[in-house]
Structure 1
């Protein structure tokens, strides 16, 4: 069975709004490795539109971008499929994107049964719904040593039936002071 991995950057105060801060080189490398171990992305419309066409465009025109951004963009572009859960998105960018309007749980359970690499998700809305359904196997949260005081918050609006018990299995401290935390669902 394939794993669903939730990976996200956050500040000390829980802000995960990528417009408010930008990850450093080590963080980009960390996410590049996670991306290389995946062949499917699960996104909501907002996260999808944040990632596409931005990263595919970096691959097409890498001038002026940092080395780690180009490497991440190449890893992102190599992923086989992107599943976008959206009621409002009319058409996908490219031929590897599929829009799904209903059936989050059924779609993810089906994907988990297929052969392949990990399934990677990010953002807030879809991962919160996946957490509510107990469908996330690993949580990779990179905490940055800054306080923003505004913006989208990690697990904003989550509605759990019972506490979500996680086990810390790995932590990595970067030179910047950011900490990558890897949790498994218990």
Structure 2
């Protein structure tokens, strides 16, 4: 069975908002304070899922990534650029800026169920998309890269109680990759 996997950079206190500083929040850029190697490459251990799965992004995340990734040519960037990308947006119509992108048509939950029948679905950032899918019981796994930073304020991934099962932990430079299942 295919999975819906949510991947996020997060602080110790659960803030996922603006890890790169592009959102202009007061505490933005917190993940990058640990150096570029802290966020570069396949930190979330996606492996072949980039080739076989589909990336699901919200409009804001897609717009940011479509400016950053297409000009990069290292091995991981090539895999990101070649990946199938689906954008959840009610307003965006032109997704030609980043190859292999299409706009999700219809209801997010229904379309995600349909897409999961065909392949793994990987939600990158996109807090609202992740929260919507969680509320519908569609998230199978969380991969959280937790940085040793406490912000005290900012949007968090979880806005409702939930119980998760720890699958693995792995140190990744200054951060720790935590993998949780929802089952």
TM range (shorter): 0.7 to 0.9
Q: Distance in 2 between matches of 1:5 and 1:139?
A: 6
The residue that corresponds to 2:75 in the other structure is 71
Q: Distance in 2 between matches of 1:43 and 1:145?
A: 26
The residue that corresponds to 1:67 in the other structure is none
Flag the 1:9–1:103 CA change in 2: closer, same or farther, 3 A: same
The residue that corresponds to 2:26 in the other structure is none
Give 1:28 deviation, angstroms: 3.0
Q: Distance in 1 between matches of 2:110 and 2:82?
A: 25
Q: Distance in 2 between matches of 1:14 and 1:50?
A: 22
Aligned residue-pair number: 167
Q: Segments of 4+ in structure 1 off by > 4 A?
A: none
Q: 1:144 aligns with which of 147, 166, 174?
A: 147
Q: Give the SS at the match of 1:33.
A: coil
Q: What is the CA deviation profile of residues 67-102 of structure 1, one whole-angstrom value per residue up to 9, with x for unaligned ones? A: xxx3331221121x2111111213112452111253
The residue that corresponds to 1:25 in the other structure is 37
1:132 lines up with 2:129 in the alignment: no
Give 1:105 deviation, angstroms: 1.3
The residue that corresponds to 1:11 in the other structure is 11
**Alignment of structure 1 residues 1-186 onto 2, 5 Å:** 1-16=1-16, 17-18=18-19, 19=21, 20-21=29-30, 22=32, 24-25=36-37, 27-31=39-43, 33-34=45-46, 36-38=48-50, 39-59=53-73, 70-79=74-83, 81-93=84-96, 94-114=98-118, 116=119, 118-123=120-125, 124-155=127-158, 158=159, 160=160, 163-176=161-174, 178-186=175-183
Give 1:148 deviation, angstroms: 3.4
Q: Distance in 1 between matches of 2:135 and 2:11?
A: 23
Structure 2 runs not aligned, ≥5 long: 22-28
Root-mean-square deviation (CA), in Å?
2.2
Given the two structures, how large is their TM-score scaled by the length of structure 2? 0.80
- Please say which of residues 101-110 and 137-146 is displaced more in the overlay: 101-110
Q: Give the SS at the match of 2:56.
A: strand
